Amino acid sequence: MTQALSHYLQFNDLTAQDYAYLFSRAAFIKHKFKTYAKHQPLTDRSLAMIFEKASTRTRISFEAGMYQMGGAVVHLTTGDSQLGRAEPIEDSAKVISRMVDLVMIRTYEQTKIERFAANSRVPVINGLTNEFHPCQIMADLFTYIEHRGDVTQPLQCLQGKVVAWVGDGNNMANTWLQAADLLGFKVHVSTPSGYEVDPAVAGIGHASCYRVFRDPLEACQGADLVTTDVWTSMGFEAENETRRQAFAAWCVDQNMMAAAKPDALFMHCLPAHRGEEVQAEVIDGPQSVVWDEAENRMHVQKALMEFLLLGRL
């Protein structure tokens, strides 16, 4: 059975019901992995991974995940393909999607992945753009559910929760807002001035899913989860020095964690810079779940790839 063509370009490309299924399925797939039980629904299927930016976690989680499910992977970068030599994205999409069953892309503007998807015969997955990082937020939510909820009723524990976002109004922040809008929790956002989230870019329907705080400590008050990201995202390296100064007070420290709920978790999509966006005591401390968060990329993405190719099983 083959699923009708659907892409995963933004978090809200799937419904709350789809996420409920995917989180339960990810738990099932993770259990198989942990018990060395084979789970190979994608035998003879292949995934092309296109990286226009660097990656550790996204590459290994998709690549290992696809092999574990019985499939194969082709890895392309801008430097070693015609993508870096100005072949139109539409032509690349038409060619690549005739030879594989799935495509994952990490690139710059969201419009680029949209143009690729519009010309693709197979599902396209967003592995990070300037605007969004949906696979990461799926992993983050799954990690929260594992620690604070119940994977048999995965969405319940998210209702009404508060996520404190401390830092840049970037791809991660935008995706947190979409997730909050869709799944019924709130984001307390604190960014330096000039680096605010833009609800139009985030593509959220209800502004009620987030609240803005000037002071990062205030944003963390009563939060169930505190999370942050690098001060300078990939593609913005020229702004490094200006950002270093602007973001100096947006370092998640022990005071911020103490302002959050006593059972609050800390997350970071990684890579992290200790002493910049987060203190070592926090990321390496007892409330941090960053290693589970990184591992869970693989389990949720295996569930996602299976879902896009085979539907609900």
Q: Give the footprint of ligand CP on this chain (CB under 6 A).
A: 55-58, 128, 136, 269-270
Phi, psi of 217 (to 5 degrees): -65, -40
Binding region for ligand NVA (CB under 6 A) out of 24-32, 137-145, 170-178, 182-190: 170-178
Q: Cis peptide leading into 271, omega within 30 of 0?
A: yes
Residues in 111-130 at the binding interface with ligand NVA, rule: CB under 6 A: 128
Minimum distance between the CB of residue 59 and ligand CP, rounded to whole angstroms?
6
DSSP conformation class of 76: E
265, 148 Cβ separation under 8 angstroms? yes
Q: Find where tokens 């392309």 sit.
A: 76
Look at residue 164 and give its three-state secondary structure. Answer: strand
308, 102 Cβ separation under 8 angstroms? yes
Look at residue 83 and give its three-state secondary structure. Answer: helix
Q: Does 312 qualify as catalytic in the annotation?
A: no
Minimum distance between the CB of residue 98 and ligand CP, rounded to whole angstroms?
27
Give the count of beta carbons closer than 10 Å to the beta carbon of residue 207: 11
Q: Does 75 qualify as catalytic in the annotation?
A: no
CA atoms of 81 and 95, how far apart (whole Å): 13
Kindly tell me which of 125 and 151 has the beta carbon lying closer to ligand NVA: 125
Q: Count of alpha carbons within 13 Å of 289, Cβ hemisphere only? A: 22
Q: Could you say which of 101, 181, 224, 229 is catalytic?
A: 229
Which parts of the chain fold into alpha helices (H)? 16-34, 57-68, 89-96, 110-118, 134-148, 171-183, 199-202, 216-220, 240-246, 254-259, 280-283, 290-310
303, 311 Cβ separation under 8 angstroms? no
**Could you tell which of ligand NVA, ligand CP, none binds residue 92, using a CB distance below 5 to 8 A set by kind?**
none
The answer to whether residue 171 forms part of the interface with ligand NVA (CB under 6 A) is yes
Minimum distance between the CB of residue 114 and ligand CP, rounded to whole angstroms?
20
Answer for which of 269, 289, 300, 303 binds ligand NVA (CB under 6 A) is 269
The answer to whether residue 49 forms part of the interface with ligand NVA (CB under 6 A) is no
109, 82 Cβ separation under 8 angstroms? no
DSSP conformation class of 152: T
**Could you tell which of ligand CP, ligand NVA, none binds residue 56, using a CB distance below 5 to 8 A set by kind?**
ligand CP
The answer to whether residue 233 forms part of the interface with ligand NVA (CB under 6 A) is yes
The answer to whether residue 170 forms part of the interface with ligand NVA (CB under 6 A) is yes
In Å, what is the CA distance from 304 to each residue of 35, 120, 240, 276? 21, 18, 34, 33
78, 55 Cβ separation under 8 angstroms? no
Binding region for ligand NVA (CB under 6 A) out of 103-111, 140-148, 165-173, 189-197: 165-173
Q: Does 224 qualify as catalytic in the annotation?
A: no
142, 148 Cβ separation under 8 angstroms? no
Q: Could you say which of 45, 268, 297, 299 is catalytic?
A: 297
**Could you tell which of ligand CP, ligand NVA, none binds residue 12, using a CB distance below 5 to 8 A set by kind?**
none
**Could you tell which of ligand NVA, ligand CP, none binds residue 233, using a CB distance below 5 to 8 A set by kind?**
ligand NVA
Kindly tell me which of 230 and 259 has the beta carbon lying closer to ligand CP: 230
Residues in 173-232 at the binding interface with ligand NVA, rule: CB under 6 A: 229-230
Minimum distance between the CB of residue 93 and ligand CP, rounded to whole angstroms?
22
Phi, psi of 123 (to 5 degrees): -60, 140
Q: Could you say which of 110, 136, 178, 301 is catalytic?
A: 136
Q: Does 106 qualify as catalytic in the annotation?
A: yes
Q: Which residues bind ligand NVA (CB under 6 A)?
A: 128, 170-172, 229-230, 233-234, 269
Active-site positions read 106, 133, 136, 229, 269, 297
